[in-house]
């Protein structure tokens, strides 16, 4: 059973719902230790005091806020606990907003947490969850975490309520400095129709279980090979990009998407790996969809560089026909 990282209460109006908070996510990335290159001994990070010219323990440190060069005010845990804000010990709901209206403003999420009600507050907790779900509302709230007040949102999630900490508006960088193409950029009808067809072919119900961290899996294979003293195969060099027209690239992408839909779905991870390896080694005689170097803005996000040979051939489809150039 995970340990709660925060205890407090949800507050709105005169309603108080005592809850515990747990991290909703965990990192599964591959972690490395820093080693000395000469002996492969693991290095240690020491806390050094230049005044006394000695290594000190972390327990001998305190928080300090610099008010002038080399002048600090020491802040203790008691000082932090005495901050005169309700959000130090509670999740203060500021307002309820429709989910659709709040989607854009609450898009930049920092971290997600699960809330668990205390036994005495189970009824009130699930009453709030039911109201949010039934009326499609999101609760905008504030909470103090890690010595700072954070903007957050409450949403019903599975059997609980999820709290997502958000960036404050002044922490979100504006997009005004980016070189964004104008919305009125000229798009040919054929390009728009083909792009819509491609997006339609790639549209479906999202299944999170169908996705996995392939980079982490490949990296672990390399680590295993290193540990066993095996040689590491050099990755194949990427083919040089060729220039083509936008419609041709979209046509090749649509053909690849159709082939991918008709390809059989592997039942096991081993079958998926074997299928991927066979596609990489199979001889290919189809045109490759390549990055497009055309100064045209397409108003939809479509991948214009789809490896046709990895889908069309694997599904037994015939190669996509090239467009005849003018």
SS3 state at 308: helix
pLDDT at 312: 36
- In the block, residue with structure tokens 């690849």: 256
Report CA 210 to chain centroid distance, whole Å: 16
pLDDT at 300: 42
- Residue % of the chain over a pLDDT of 70: 77
Could you report the per-residue pLDDT of 216-241, keeping only the tens digit for each? 888 888 888 888 888 888 777 766 65
Report CA 208 to chain centroid distance, whole Å: 12
Give yes or no for residue 8 having a pLDDT over 90: yes
Task: Work out the pLDDT band at 90, boundaries 50, 70, 90.
Answer: very high
pLDDT at 305: 39
- Residue % of the chain over a pLDDT of 90: 40
Average pLDDT on 183-211 reads 84
Pair (152, 90) in one structural domain: yes
The C-alpha angle with vertex 151 and arms to 176 and 17, in degrees rounded to 5, equals 155
Average pLDDT on 259-263 reads 75
Average pLDDT on 125-148 reads 94
Tell me, what DSSP letter sits at residue 138?
Answer: E
Could you report the per-residue pLDDT of 143-195, keeping only the tens digit for each? 998 888 999 999 999 999 999 999 999 999 988 888 887 776 778 888 888 88
Domain total for the chain?
A: 2
Pair (112, 90) in one structural domain: yes
- Give the domain-ending residue among 124, 150, 171: 171
Task: Work out the pLDDT band at 127, boundaries 50, 70, 90.
Answer: very high
- Let me know if residue 141 belongs to a domain: yes
Average pLDDT on 119-134 reads 95
- Let me know if residue 102 belongs to a domain: yes
Give yes or no for residue 326 having a pLDDT over 50: no
Q: Which residues contact 305 (CB under 8 A, 6 or more apart)?
A: 249, 289, 290, 291, 292
SS3 state at 15: strand
Question: What is the rounded CA–CA span in Å between residue 326 and residue 323?
Answer: 9
For 139-192, give the DSSP string: EEEEEEETTEEEEEEEEEETTEEEEEEE--GGGSPPSTTS-PPPTT----HHHH
- Let me know if residue 110 belongs to a domain: yes
pLDDT at 241: 55
- Let me know if residue 107 belongs to a domain: yes
Lowest model confidence (mean pLDDT) among 40-44, 96-100, 286-290: 286-290
What average pLDDT does the structure give for the chain?
79
- CA distances (Å), 21 to each of 7, 96, 120, 314, in order? 6, 21, 16, 47
Pair (15, 130) in one structural domain: yes
Pair (102, 247) in one structural domain: no
Other CB atoms closer than 10 Å to residue 45's CB: what's the count? 6
- Let me know if residue 216 belongs to a domain: no
| Cβ–Cβ under 8 Å, residues 5 and 19 | no
Pair (196, 294) in one structural domain: yes
- Let me know if residue 47 belongs to a domain: no
- Let me know if residue 215 belongs to a domain: no
* Helices marked H in the chain: 77-81, 99-102, 122-135, 189-201, 214-227, 246-262, 269-281
Pair (167, 188) in one structural domain: no
Task: Work out the pLDDT band at 271, boundaries 50, 70, 90.
Answer: low
Give yes or no for residue 286 having a pLDDT over 90: no
Pair (85, 194) in one structural domain: no
How many CA atoms are closer than 13 Å to the CA of 319, on its beta-carbon side? 11
Average pLDDT on 295-322 reads 40
Average pLDDT on 133-137 reads 96
pLDDT at 321: 45
Pair (10, 150) in one structural domain: yes
Average pLDDT on 251-274 reads 68
Pair (20, 143) in one structural domain: yes
Pair (191, 164) in one structural domain: no
pLDDT at 211: 86
Give yes or no for residue 311 having a pLDDT over 50: no
Range(s) of the domain holding residue 325: 184-200+242-277+287-326
Question: What is the rounded CA–CA span in Å between residue 139 and residue 133?
Answer: 11
Task: Work out the pLDDT band at 125, boundaries 50, 70, 90.
Answer: very high
Nearest to 10 by CA among 20, 21, 18: 18
Pair (20, 137) in one structural domain: yes
- Give the domain-ending residue among 171, 192, 221: 171
Query: Which of 21-25, 288-292, 295-299 shows the highest mean pLDDT?
Result: 21-25
- Let me know if residue 72 belongs to a domain: no
Average pLDDT on 190-207 reads 87
We report the CATH number of the domain holding residue 167 as 2.40.290.10
Average pLDDT on 196-216 reads 87
Pair (17, 159) in one structural domain: yes
Compute the Cα dihedral for 107, 110, 114, 117 and give only its sign: negative
**Which carries the bigger pLDDT value, residue 263 or residue 272?**
263
């Amino acid at each position: 059973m995970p340990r709660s990282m925060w205890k407090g209460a949800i507050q709105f109006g005169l309603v108080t719902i005592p809850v515990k908070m747990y991290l909703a996510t965990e990192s599964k990335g591959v972690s490395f230790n820093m080693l000395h290159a000469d002996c492969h001994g693991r290095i240690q990070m020491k806390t050094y005091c230049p005044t006394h010219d000695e290594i000190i323990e972390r327990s001998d440190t305190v928080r300090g806020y610099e008010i002038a060069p080399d002048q600090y005010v020491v802040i203790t845990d008691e000082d932090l606990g005495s901050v005169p804000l309700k959000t130090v010990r509670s999740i203060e709901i500021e307002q309820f907003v429709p989910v659709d209206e709040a989607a854009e403003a609450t898009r930049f999420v920092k971290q997600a947490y699960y809330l668990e009600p205390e036994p005495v507050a189970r009824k009130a907790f699930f009453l709030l969850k039911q109201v949010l779900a039934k009326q499609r509302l999101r609760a905008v709230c504030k909470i103090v975490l890690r010595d700072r007040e954070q903007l957050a949102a409450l949403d019903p999630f599975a059997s609980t309520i999820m709290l997502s900490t958000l960036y404050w508006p002044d922490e979100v960088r504006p997009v005004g400095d980016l070189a964004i193409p104008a919305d009125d950029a000229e798009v040919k009808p054929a390009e728009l129709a083909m792009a819509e067809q491609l997006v339609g072919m790639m549209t479906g119900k999202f299944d999170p279980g169908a996705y996995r961290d392939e980079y982490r899996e490949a990296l672990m294979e390399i680590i295993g090979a290193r540990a066993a003293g095996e040689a590491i195969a050099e990755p194949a060099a990427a083919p040089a990009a060729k220039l083509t027209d936008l419609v041709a690239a979209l046509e090749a992408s649509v053909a690849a998407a159709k082939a991918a839909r008709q390809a059989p779905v592997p039942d096991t991870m081993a079958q998926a790996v074997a299928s991927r390896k066979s596609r990489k080694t199979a001889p290919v005689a189809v045109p490759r969809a390549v990055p497009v170097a055309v100064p045209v803005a397409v108003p939809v996000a479509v991948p214009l560089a789809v490896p046709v040979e990895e889908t069309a051939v694997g599904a037994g489809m015939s190669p996509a026909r090239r467009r005849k150039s003018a």
